[in-house]
Amino acid sequence: MWQVLAAGSLFFPGLYLVLKRCAHWAGPGWTEGECSLISARIVSSLQGILAATSGIIIITSCKDVKFDRHWLATGYIWFIIPYMVYDTYAMYLRHWYKCQDKRILNGKEHFSKAMNSLLKKDFLMLVHHTAILTIIVPIGLFLRRDIGDFFVGCLFTAELSTPFVSLGKVLIQINWQNSLLHKVNGAVVLITFFICRILLFPFMYNAYGKQYGIPIYKVPFNIPLHCNVINASIMAPQIYWFWLICRKALRLYTSHPQTKDR
């Protein structure tokens, strides 16, 4: 799978650079930071589509939720490793350009301000990316003993909400935050996030229970403790992010026109 790892290492940064050049052409008045931001969001959207599609293929192919195999379950994990590294750097670039816009010219001060901004505003996302690379990826590739591809596919489908989240941010960036499209997209974000990131976990427990004839409320007591711990650790930030999305949705549908959020 090293070929897949190499392909991802070329694909995501390369796509970002191509999109950034296209953004300069499409929006001559955009700053370097704005072009970088919209390019990164499009890359995130595409990755979300690829991951969700892979997840759906795996889920529909695995009849036995524990032992059936599909090559995408490990193949896409290798592909997502360079994306997580790239996306972490893209998050840093977002804050680097913000500090540049504030005309912090000293190199060390610029780096320090950008890192402080990243740690302050995107700390949970940074922890999320780090946990995926250092915990979830090793488990998915080496520690699960080639079982549970169905559940790996389920976790991939969580990315289905990502394109809509990114679209909402792009609409704000181009000052369409008061458009009907933005409001409709906000509703889709709520629905897809709730289904694919919150209801996903009851769905997985229910699928396991149906196969082995166990009521869903007894499933946590019939699977290894570490599976429950991992699921709870993944689900906890999803609940927090869903709460933040609900707050933003409330402002979107009840408040006056919003200001541009970079």
The full DSSP string for 172-210 is HHTT-TTSHHHHHHHHHHHHHHIIIIITHHHHHHHHHHH
Query: Is the model's pLDDT at 105 over the cut of 80?
Result: no
The residues spanned by each domain of the chain are 2-254
Cα(74)–Cα(96) distance, integer angstroms:
34
* Cα three-residue angle 157-160-165, rounded to 5 degrees: 145
* Cα three-residue angle 10-172-109, rounded to 5 degrees: 65
Query: Is the model's pLDDT at 69 over the cut of 80?
Result: yes
Backbone angles phi, psi at 144, to 5 degrees: -90, 5
Mean pLDDT of 146-160: 96
Q: By C-alpha distance, which of 255, 78, 233, 257 is closest to 172?
A: 257
Cα(76)–Cα(42) distance, integer angstroms:
19
Long-range contact set of residues 124-130: C-beta below 8 Å, sequence gap at least 24: 124/237, 124/240, 125/91, 126/88, 126/91, 128/237, 129/84, 129/87, 129/88, 129/91, 130/88
Query: Is the model's pLDDT at 7 over the cut of 70?
Result: yes
pLDDT tens digits for 18-29? Answer: 999 999 998 888
Query: Is the model's pLDDT at 145 over the cut of 90?
Result: no
pLDDT tens digits for 106-132? Answer: 667 788 888 999 999 999 999 999 999
Whole-model pTM: value is: 0.90
- Is-contact 132 113, C-beta < 8 A? no
Lowest mean pLDDT among 51-65, 106-120, 123-137, 213-227: 106-120
* Tokens of residue 128, six digits: 């999320």
Mean pLDDT of 35-61: 96
pLDDT of residue 259: 47
- Residues of the chain above pLDDT 90, percent: 78
Query: Is the model's pLDDT at 56 over the cut of 60?
Result: yes
**DSSP secondary structure code for residue 257 in this structure:** P
* Element of type H or E holding 89: helix 71-101
- Residue 38: band (very low, low, confident or very high) from pLDDT cuts 50, 70, 90: very high
| Between 28 and 102, the higher pLDDT residue | 28
Calculated CA dihedral for residues 229, 234, 236, 237, nearest 10 degrees: 150
Mean pLDDT of 70-88: 97
* Element of type H or E holding 84: helix 71-101
| Between 107 and 44, the higher pLDDT residue | 44
pLDDT tens digits for 174-216? Answer: 888 888 999 999 999 999 999 999 999 999 999 999 999 999 9
Backbone angles phi, psi at 17, to 5 degrees: -65, -40
Query: Is the model's pLDDT at 134 over the cut of 90?
Result: yes
Cα(241)–Cα(183) distance, integer angstroms:
19
